[in-house]
């Protein structure tokens, strides 16, 4: 989790003026300025608890054509198929439009392809199935803009097509009565970032012409869930959709969602955008990943509480199964990294395994990318000689471009800057791994970043700040939960929670004392001690229990106070080069080389603590070395592991080998490699 901390800059005078002019809490005004809000109308809309929907549905390309063709189908009782996708955006889109069509008396059905047997999007095979079912008009949601072959087949069979999508459009659009997509080059809308369900929502609004209040009342909850799940920016129209939808969700007005929240253990708790993202979205997605997205759709359409409860339990179990499979694959990936340093220390981690569940490899890639602060691709090999990969990146590095560089190896691929997927032949995996890392070595790889909105004096933490923070909700992409920097905090107490899975810190500065929770920072990997002075990156959240409101401080990142991030990250990156066996300059080799006395100091600290992990920066400081020697500390550990002086457990912990024979550290392969570059 070692990152480069960047504190946002802002204009205090501009913030003070905004606070006065709009009667805002000063902290809220500061955070608004940091988010780039300047325009008067934009600020008013952002803080309005009941924002207006400003995007005219008929400003979307072909919306008038779509409305005309669908209304004609409804009036003549033609069979309409709503064709969706198996993720949460696609499922909510399908539920919204199908329910709306039914309310208008349409002869409608829905169809979501199976992730594992049919794959994504409208296909020729799916069109032929719908034809056999008597469908005359196909209306796609969250897909279709690239379905040229399927569209041609539909018209060959005498069917017609209306496409609603939000993905990038190809150079040529498929044949259709209407293609409603904000990314068309002929679209003049200022706002183009609707999710798939956002476009479906706008279609329903357009069909109501002047009065869309019933659409907002009946469907904003579905639109909000899909919008949050698809991680589109919560700005403009998306922000209005989510605000309206959260009100509906918290009214528990939709039976299926209410039962799902009950089964998830949140009952009547207030749901904000973050809790929807962590509670509702993964469960709906799990249905499509682990079994059939149809079950999630049936839940959203269900009005009977008993039936909805059964479906909610089934979907919750699918999510638990997903978590179990994810944990198993994650464990296998970690073992692969431990066994293969060339994979672990490459600028892009590319791990592969036989039969890994393709529905969860993207989630595993995200977890590895976060843990190791570098892009990660997870590839699953199947029995047919092909393999599917899913990758996640870090801010500032386009994984899509990196994958595209090896396009000739791929059967197909797609994605965007931070996430991408592809298929290739199993025999080409090694070539792909080599080529994508050669590409990365030629690029100026960015440091992973920890953004800080505001430096905060701990004495100023109060309920007023919570009110300021809440005024900026809903949080999500484009409007993240504010992160505050608490600098120069002295650790007074450390307590493990949940059998050592999490940590509770008591930190102090001056007269201010704060309790902070470190979720996911386990007792086995947390090497700070009482008395250490640290910097904390934290979220401040509301914690209400039995009518009492307290401020919960959640630690997102921690570092030794005053640390030189770039110096440490450069050292860790140099260590990667050493472990990969890459040629070093004499200067780099001198920085990386640990002599015997240096190794002895590192050994002493590990023995004193009992065990250590890969937190080499803190180990470097404990030994009394300057941060620039962090690479040498990491190399010292590896040298002693190679010679048997230290042992590394399967979990990655380093412990002293009490039965180690007398050894010459200079015999370690790593030591010889480093010395070979010193003149």
- State which fold the 4-8+450-560 domain adopts: OB fold (Dihydrolipoamide Acetyltransferase, E2P) (2.40.50)
d(C-alpha 372, C-alpha 450), whole Å: 14
Class of domain 565-675: mainly alpha
d(C-alpha 518, C-alpha 501), whole Å: 9
The whole-number average pLDDT for the span 576-591 is: 94
d(C-alpha 347, C-alpha 575), whole Å: 12
Q: Which of 585, 590, 641 is nearest to 613 (CA)?
A: 641
Indicate the domain borders of the chain.
Answer: 4-8+450-560, 57-235, 252-332, 340-445, 565-675
160-164 and 178-180: which strand pairing? parallel
Tens digits of residue pLDDT in 10-23: 889 999 999 999 99
Q: Which DSSP string corresponds to 548-599? A: EEEEEEEEEEEEETT--HHHHHHHHHHHHHHHHT----HHHHHHH---HHHH
- In this structure, what token pair is assigned to residue 416? 């965007």
Helices (H), 340-474: 341-344, 361-372, 399-404, 429-442, 463-470
178-180 and 654-656: which strand pairing? unpaired
Provide the pLDDT confidence category of residue 6 given band limits of 50, 70 and 90.
very high
Provide the pLDDT confidence category of residue 128 given band limits of 50, 70 and 90.
very high
- Range 318-340 burial, b when 16+ CB lie within 10 A, else e: bbebbeebbeebbeebbeebeee
Q: How would you classify residue 130: left for phi > 0, otherwise alpha for psi between -120 and 50, otherwise beta?
A: alpha
238 phi, psi to nearest 5 deg: -65, -40
The answer on pLDDT for 269 being more than 90 is no
d(C-alpha 107, C-alpha 128), whole Å: 19
Peptide bond into 474 cis (omega under 30): yes
The answer on pLDDT for 652 being more than 80 is no
pTM recorded for the entire structure: 0.88
- In this structure, what token pair is assigned to residue 600? 């002895």
d(C-alpha 100, C-alpha 218), whole Å: 9
Start-to-end C-alpha separation, the chain: 35
Answer for the pair 245, 229: CB distance below 8 angstroms, yes or no: no
Mean pLDDT of the residues in the chain: 92
Provide the pLDDT confidence category of residue 475 given band limits of 50, 70 and 90.
very high
What pLDDT score does 649 carry? 81
The whole-number average pLDDT for the span 328-345 is: 93
Domain 340-445 has CATH 1.10.3720.10: no
The lowest-confidence range among 158-167, 197-206, 393-402, 543-552 is 543-552
Answer for the pair 489, 249: CB distance below 8 angstroms, yes or no: no
DSSP state of 391: E
The answer on pLDDT for 510 being more than 80 is yes
What pLDDT score does 44 carry? 87
The answer on pLDDT for 429 being more than 90 is yes
Residue 412 is inside which H or E element, if any?
strand 410-415
The answer on pLDDT for 117 being more than 90 is no
Q: Which of 554, 663, 525 is nearest to 603 (CA)?
A: 663
What pLDDT score does 220 carry? 95
Q: Which of 608, 600, 512 is nearest to 551 (CA)?
A: 512
The whole-number average pLDDT for the span 49-76 is: 93
- State which fold the 57-235 domain adopts: inorganic pyrophosphatase (n-terminal core) (3.90.1640)
Residue 494 is inside which H or E element, if any?
strand 484-497
């Amino acid at each position: 989790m070692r990152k480069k901390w960047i504190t946002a800059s802002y204009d205090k005078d501009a913030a003070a003026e905004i606070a006065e002019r709009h009667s805002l809490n000063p902290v809220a005004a500061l955070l608004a300025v940091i988010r780039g809000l300047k325009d008067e109308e934009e600020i008013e809309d952002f803080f309005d608890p009941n924002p207006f929907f400003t995007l005219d549905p008929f400003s979307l390309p072909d919306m008038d054509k779509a409305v005309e063709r669908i209304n004609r189908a409804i009036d003549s009782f033609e069979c309409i198929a709503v064709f969706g996708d198996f993720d949460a955006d696609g499922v909510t889109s399908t539920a919204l439009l199908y329910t709306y069509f039914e309310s208008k008396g349409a002869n409608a059905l829905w169809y979501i392809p199976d992730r594992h047997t049919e794959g994504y999007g409208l296909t020729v095979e799916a069109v032929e199935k719908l034809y056999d079912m008597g469908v005359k008009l196909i209306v796609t949601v969250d897909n279709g803009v690239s379905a040229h072959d399927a569209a041609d087949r539909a018209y060959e069979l005498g069917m017609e097509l209306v496409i609603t999508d939000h993905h990038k459009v190809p150079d040529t659009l498929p044949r259709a009565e209407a293609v409603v997509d904000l990314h068309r080059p002929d679209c003049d809308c200022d706002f183009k970032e609707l999710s798939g369900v956002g476009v479906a929502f706008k279609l329903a609004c357009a069909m109501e012409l002047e009065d869309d209040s019933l659409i907002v009342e009946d469907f904003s909850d579905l639109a909000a869930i899909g919008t949050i799940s698809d991680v589109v920016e919560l700005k403009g129209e998306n922000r209005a959709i989510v605000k309206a939808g959260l009100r509906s969700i918290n009214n528990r007005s939709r039976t299926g969602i209410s039962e799902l929240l009950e089964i998830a253990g949140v009952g009547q708790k207030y749901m904000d955008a973050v809790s929807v993202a962590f509670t509702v979205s993964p469960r709906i997605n799990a249905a499509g990943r682990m079994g059939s997205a149809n079950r999630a759709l049936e839940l959203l359409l269900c009005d009977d509480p008993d039936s909805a409860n059964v479906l909610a339990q089934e979907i919750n179990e699918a999510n638990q199964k997903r978590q179990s499979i994810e944990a198993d694959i994650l464990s296998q990936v970690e073992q692969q990294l431990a066994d293969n340093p060339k994979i672990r220390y490459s600028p892009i981690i590319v791990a592969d395994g036989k039969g890994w569940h393709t529905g969860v490899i993207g989630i595993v890639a995200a977890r590895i990318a976060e843990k190791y602060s570098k892009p990660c691709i997870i590839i699953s090999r199947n029995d047919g000689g092909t393999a599917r990969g899913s990758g996640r990146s870090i801010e500032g590095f386009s994984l899509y471009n990196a994958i595209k560089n090896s396009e000739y190896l791929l059967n197909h691929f797609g994605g965007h800057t931070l996430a991408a997927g592809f298929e290739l032949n199993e025999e080409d995996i090694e070539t792909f791994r080599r080529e994508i890392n050669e590409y990365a070595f030629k690029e100026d790889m960015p440091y992973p970043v920890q953004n800080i909105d505001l430096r905060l004096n701990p004495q100023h933490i109060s309920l007023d700040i919570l009110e300021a923070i809440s005024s900026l909700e809903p949080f999500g992409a484009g409007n993240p939960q504010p992160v505050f920097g608490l600098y120069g905090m002295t650790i007074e107490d450390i307590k493990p929670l949940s059998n050592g899975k999490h940590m509770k810190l008591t930190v102090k500065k001056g007269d201010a004392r704060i309790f902070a929770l470190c979720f996911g920072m386990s007792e086995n990997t947390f090497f700070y001690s009482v008395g250490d002075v640290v910097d904390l990156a934290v979220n401040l959240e509301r914690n209400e229990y039995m009518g009492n409101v307290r401020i919960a401080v959640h630690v997102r990142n921690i570092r030794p106070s005053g640390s030189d991030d770039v110096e440490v990250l450069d050292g860790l990156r140099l260590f990667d080069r050493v472990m990969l066996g890459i040629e070093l300059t004499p200067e780099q080799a001198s920085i990386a080389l640990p002599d015997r006395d240096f190794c002895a100091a590192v050994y002493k600290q590990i023995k004193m603590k009992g065990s250590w992990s890969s937190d080499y920066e803190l180990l470097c400081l404990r030994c009394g070395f300057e941060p620039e020697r962090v690479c040498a500390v990491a190399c010292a550990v590896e040298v002693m592991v190679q010679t048997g002086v230290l042992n590394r457990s399967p979990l990655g912990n380093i412990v002293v080998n009490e039965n180690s024979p007398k050894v010459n550290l200079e015999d370690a392969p790593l030591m010889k490699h480093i010395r070979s570059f010193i003149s």
